[in-house]
Structure 1
């Protein structure tokens, strides 16, 4: 097929590099926006044209967008540093919007995050669709979540302004070959030998497999039904911690000791830690607010993008597990 020219920011990242590869395979003309200091090895096998620049520099973005019709903005700071989050995630997104509007870009697809939802305002087992409560205290969730929410607010403010059509995607936890297989949402890990899983294991993980998210982005490109819309992107098959531990973690860590961390015990420990650290004038390692935000059992709903755009994830959970295991075992 022959499609529009697509600019991808964050093109050397876990998601961006996979997206660039799939876009070029499907015949899109792709411009990969990368920093000069970035490792571009994963892009070398693609037909993408590299454009060097920085999202902090609006002029380099404007130059990269010449002749482009669609921008996929996936660049974000993941360091957790407050200043970097402000410069790269927040100001970088503002620069992308400014350049896209000035450059006559037809569509901007922004990769936000399900972390923008205010989980503490939800009831246990509540279903969260795109109208769910937005985080009221992002500063208490951590610098990454705070920056992503600020950036999303700027993106949503651009909807309906001028000719630029905006699509905001809120993916869940992205996983796949080469990505993280164990996240803080699961629990705590000490090396490869000691792994603690928080809670009873019934917690539904808001997973989205890498290739399924890429397919969602492709579905949105030039789709009128995606214009000025927000979509959650999570895999349709519910996967709880017990299932993920049994099918992914135990095969990857065969010699590890797995144990349960009761949520109530962890909550009490974190509360005591907050009191002690406050008395010492130090910032706590983990707050009760962040713990509740990551562990309250809710179900993120991703049905809108399937109903409205016809998104059909190409990879089911079991097939995705086999892909990840092959990669991690050096067979990918």
Structure 2
């Protein structure tokens, strides 16, 4: 089987590359804007500019069976663009659909698209998780662009017969994670007192290894064709619980002050940090029953094991 993989220089795509390279009878082909320092043995790469240009037609010469599309313009907490939606659309919609059209022309059988839970929305009521077939309700430009890409892919698949598989991850963590999750580990490692000891929300997360396992499952599972799947660790945590368990994984004592969530929200909004407050204090849960039942899939890695692996990588590589 020949697999085209995009986004191999990123957090998720890089992990998918390593997993695919270990599979027998799989040839991995990477379209790259810039060379990666070390490619696994047997991986083929070729240079490419923007996915919107004619270079996507090079796919035809490689005769791939499947495309796994991990590349995207990622969500940015403080986007300084004059028109964020236009920027997200250029990469996440136009680029994705240009790649998909080239894939269809190349006779690709299946196109696996790593989307985002932001297509569903930003938050849920506790006990009322998002489901894969719920009406989408994106709020920000990133979520809107991912939904538009999904819609374009499904329309293309219906027209051409190319199978489309859409995966919407929640927050992904694991060895090498950056952004807010990395900041959280640094706070805990330094023993900084944190005002998050009384947060009773529920949030779904997904370990990198669990997401990669599902992506690989969707490459060739017959029941994945033309479906949308949500993915998580299938164990929802409060912010307080996550911090306590992450501290334990780091071998540190958690110093969590029991400040009520409503006080944190009021203070955060006063400082213009309402979005961050929502992520820390609000709930976002997903129901992965469709993923489990249709694909006979279970997350192979438990939360505490994934947290320990994340902590170990941080302690060995990123500790500051």
After the TM superposition, which residues 297-308 of structure 1 pair with which residues of structure 2 at under 5 Å, given as runs?
297-308=283-294
What is the aligned partner in structure 2 of residue 109 from structure 1? 112
In structure 1, C-alpha distance between the alignment counterparts of 2:99 and 2:154, rounded to whole Å: 13
What is the aligned partner in structure 1 of residue 64 from structure 2? 68
What is the aligned partner in structure 2 of residue 227 from structure 1? 225
In structure 2, C-alpha distance between the alignment counterparts of 1:329 and 1:133, rounded to whole Å: 41
**Structure 2 unaligned regions, length at least 5:** none
In structure 2, C-alpha distance between the alignment counterparts of 1:305 and 1:9, rounded to whole Å: 23
Secondary structure of the residue aligned to 2:89 is helix
What is the aligned partner in structure 1 of residue 5 from structure 2? 8
Query: Out of 300, 305, 311, which is 1:325 matched to?
Result: 311
After the TM superposition, which residues 1-332 of structure 1 pair with which residues of structure 2 at under 5 Å, given as runs?
4-27=1-24, 28-36=26-34, 40-41=36-37, 43-65=38-60, 66-78=62-74, 80=76, 81=79, 82=84, 83-119=86-122, 122-135=124-137, 138=139, 141=140, 143-180=141-178, 182-183=180-181, 192=190, 194=192, 196=194, 198=196, 200-249=198-247, 251-252=249-250, 254=252, 257-272=255-270, 285-287=272-274, 291-292=277-278, 295-330=281-316
- 1:102 CA drift (Å): 2.2
- 1:231 CA drift (Å): 0.3
Q: TM-score, normalised by structure 1?
A: 0.80
Secondary structure of the residue aligned to 1:204 is coil
**Structure 1 unaligned regions, length at least 5:** 274-284
- What is the aligned residue count? 309
Q: TM-score, normalised by structure 2?
A: 0.83
Task: Check whether the contact 2:113–2:167 (CA below 8 A) recurs between aligned residues.
Answer: yes
Task: Check whether the contact 1:209–1:315 (CA below 8 A) recurs between aligned residues.
Answer: yes
- 1:165 CA drift (Å): 0.4
- Calculate the aligned-residue CA RMSD, in Å: 3.2
Higher strand share: 1
Secondary structure of the residue aligned to 2:112 is strand
Higher helix share: 2
Residues 36-59 of structure 1: per-residue CA shift (max 9 Å, x gap): 2x5x13x42343111221343342
CA change 1:272–1:191 in 2 (3 A) is same
